[in-house]
């Protein structure tokens, strides 16, 4: 007997239900029906045995054994081989929403980093002060008193007024000068009639009296301090040409000392304007008209004099609106007309200045000033205080005599916020830690009335970029 493994011919395989594989289940059946058919086929092929089949041929009898073959399952529709993995519409919508939320969250995070900004509204510490003080000030720095300084301004204005010719007169210019001795530590004497030459014009003036000039002294730092004294001078000849403004005369030199060491070590400066020089018919002017015209010129000059003095006040000092003494000198000169004269008024304003810090400590009290520690503060209202000189008749700015003055009104001491420094300290700090930064500035920041806000609302850290930090000072 010869056993032969025959080729696998699918059309010779018969399923239990006697249906050939050529007749597969209808594709139109449901998924459940197709799955059941496939399962029945696998059970049939795994449990059935094929019987031997004999066939007779003319030349002998051969027996052919058909062995059991493991057959492939029926080739079904590819769409039915895998379970359906498609998502339902509900699942798709849910997934889409979750993804969108994640994208929005990511976008919001990056937006909060790149677009975040912070605003801090700061209320500075403010101490109101009711001022009603009378103080004595010294021009020499005497201990126990506040000190004052003097700034000067000068101006001359003229106008033409009605007049008539009077008697012929010839008068000389007079003035006051200050002579300094940097030549010797011993006193030096000058006699009346000593000639002085004006620096700009060369015109000659003479001392009206004999004087003794104190010798120079040396400060503790080794600086030479010349001795000084004031003396009157008169022009050598009559005439208006000798009149001068003290700021334009250019100083004087003692003619007798030319060519000696004394020539440069003795200084002579004008202490007043030179006035009174005249030659000709003295103009006769109605006294009432003279007084009215003089007052009008003085009033027109005063704002300019005050403004000029204010421009010379040092930055750390203050000059009040009424804190000055004025000196006006009217002079009348001839004109080309026999019926008019030229009225000139020379004015000098002596502005009185005070050191701000020293004055505020006196007006507000040292305890109020100490509240700010090492931080700076401003004094709104200080310049608007009413200032009055209570001893105008006894006070001389040129002699630096004692000044008695009264201040009244309302002012405040307000802490100065160092915004640039504060912005730098706040950059990158968590919002709940900003209070610790502000506490370091508590001498000038009223923390209980100050606030901070971040944008967007979910941000929790102050931006690291200082340009995105805005500091608003209340009241400014």
Write the pLDDT tens digit of every residue in 293-333.
999 999 999 999 999 999 999 999 999 999 999 999 888 87
Of the ranges 95-104, 153-162, 323-332, which one carries the lowest mean pLDDT score?
A: 95-104
- C-alpha 453/C-alpha 440 separation (Å) is 19
Q: How confident is the model at residue 16 (pLDDT cuts 50, 70, 90)?
A: very low
Percentage of the chain lying above the pLDDT 70 cut = 76
335: pLDDT confidence band, cut at 50, 70 and 90? confident
CATH code: domain of residue 204? 2.40.30
* pLDDT at residue 26 tops 60: no
Q: What is the mean pLDDT of residues 72-90?
A: 54
Asked whether the predicted pLDDT for residue 134 surpasses 50, the reply is yes
Given 247, 281, 315, the domain boundary residue is 281
Per-residue confidence band for 117, with pLDDT thresholds at 50, 70 and 90: very high
pLDDT greater than 80 at residue 352: yes
- Give residue 332's pLDDT: 80
Give, as one character, the DSSP assignment of residue 366. H
What is the number of domains present in the chain?
Answer: 2
CA 306 to mean position of chain CA atoms: 28
Q: How far apart are the first and last CA of the chain?
A: 120
Determine the pLDDT at residue 381: 96
- Whether the Cβ atoms of residue 415 and residue 124 lie closer than 8 Å to each other: yes
Question: Is residue 15 situated within a structural domain?
Answer: yes
**Among 45, 80, 115, where does a domain finish?**
80
- 52-65 pLDDT, tens per residue? 444 444 444 444 34
Nearest to 179 by CA among 191, 161, 166: 191
The residue from 23, 53, 80 where one domain ends is 80
277-312 burial, b at 16+ Cβ within 10 Å, e below that, comes to bbeebbbebeeeebeebbeebbeebbeebbebbbee
Q: Please report, for the chain, how many H helices and E strands are present, in that order.
A: 8, 25
For residues 169 and 278, the answer to whether their CB atoms sit within 8 Å is yes
pLDDT at position 64 is 39
pLDDT at 190: 96
Is residue 106 assigned to a domain? no
**Does residue 69 lie within any of the structural domains?**
yes
Say what percent of the chain tops pLDDT 90: 62
Same domain, 277 and 174: yes
Q: 23 in a domain, yes or no?
A: yes
* pLDDT value of residue 87: 53
Residue 14 scores a pLDDT above 80? no
Q: In terms of residue numbers, what domain contains 18?
A: 10-80
pLDDT band at 82 (very low <50, low <70, confident <90, very high): low
| 129-to-122, 214, 357, 475 alpha-carbon distances in Å | 22, 47, 15, 17
Parallel, antiparallel, or unpaired: how do β-strands 126-138 and 146-162 relate?
parallel
What is the reported pLDDT for 281? 81
**Residue 21 pLDDT > 50:** no
**99 pLDDT more than 90:** no
- The pTM (predicted TM-score) of the whole model is 0.60
């Amino acid at each position: 007997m010869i056993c032969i493994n025959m080729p696998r011919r699918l059309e010779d395989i018969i399923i239990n239900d006697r249906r050939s594989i050529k007749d597969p289940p209808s594709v139109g059946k449901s998924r459940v029906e197709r799955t059941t058919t496939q399962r029945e086929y696998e059970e049939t092929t795994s449990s059935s045995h094929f019987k031997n089949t004999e066939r007779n041929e003319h030349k002998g009898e051969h027996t052919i054994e058909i062995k059991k073959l493991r057959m492939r399952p029926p080739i079904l529709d590819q769409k039915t081989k895998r379970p359906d993995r498609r998502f339902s519409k509900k699942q798709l919508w849910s997934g889409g929403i979750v993804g969108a939320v994640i994208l929005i969250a990511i976008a919001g995070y990056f937006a909060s980093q790149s677009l975040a900004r912070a605003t801090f509204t700061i209320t500075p510490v403010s101490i109101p002060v009711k001022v009603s003080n009378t103080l004595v000030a010294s021009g020499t720095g005497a201990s126990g008193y506040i000190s004052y300084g003097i700034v000067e301004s000068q101006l001359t204005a003229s106008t033409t007024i009605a007049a008539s010719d009077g008697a012929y007169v010839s008068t000389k210019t007079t003035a006051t000068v200050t002579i300094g001795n940097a030549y010797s530590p011993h006193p030096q004497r000058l006699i009346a009639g000593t000639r002085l030459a004006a620096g700009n014009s060369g015109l000659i003036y003479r001392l009206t009296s004999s004087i003794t000039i104190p010798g120079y002294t040396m400060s503790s730092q080794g600086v030479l301090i010349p001795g000084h004294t004031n003396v009157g001078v008169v022009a050598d000849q009559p005439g208006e040409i000798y009149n001068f403004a003290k700021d334009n005369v250019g100083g004087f030199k003692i003619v007798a000392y030319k060519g000696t060491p004394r020539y440069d070590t003795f200084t002579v400066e004008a202490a007043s304007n030179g006035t009174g020089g005249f030659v000709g018919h003295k103009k006769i002017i109605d006294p009432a008209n003279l007084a009215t015209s003089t007052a009008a010129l003085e009033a027109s000059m005063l704002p300019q004099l005050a403004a000029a003095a204010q421009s010379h006040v040092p930055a750390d000092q203050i000059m009040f609106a009424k804190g000055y003494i004025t000196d006006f000198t009217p002079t009348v000169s001839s004109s080309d007309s026999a019926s008019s004269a030229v009225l000139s008024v020379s004015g000098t304003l002596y502005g009185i200045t005070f050191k701000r810090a020293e004055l505020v400590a006196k007006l507000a009290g040292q305890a109020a000033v100490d509240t700010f520690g090492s931080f700076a503060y401003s004094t709104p209202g200080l310049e608007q205080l009413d200032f009055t000189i209570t001893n105008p008749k006894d006070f001389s700015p040129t002699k630096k005599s004692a000044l008695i003055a009264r201040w009244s009104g309302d002012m405040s001491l307000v802490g100065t916020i160092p915004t640039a420094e504060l912005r730098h300290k706040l950059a990158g700090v968590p919002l709940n830690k900003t209070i610790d930064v502000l506490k370091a500035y508590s001498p000038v920041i009223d923390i209980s009335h100050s606030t901070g806000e971040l944008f967007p609302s979910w941000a929790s850290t102050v931006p690291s970029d200082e340009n995105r930090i805005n500091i608003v000072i209340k009241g400014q």
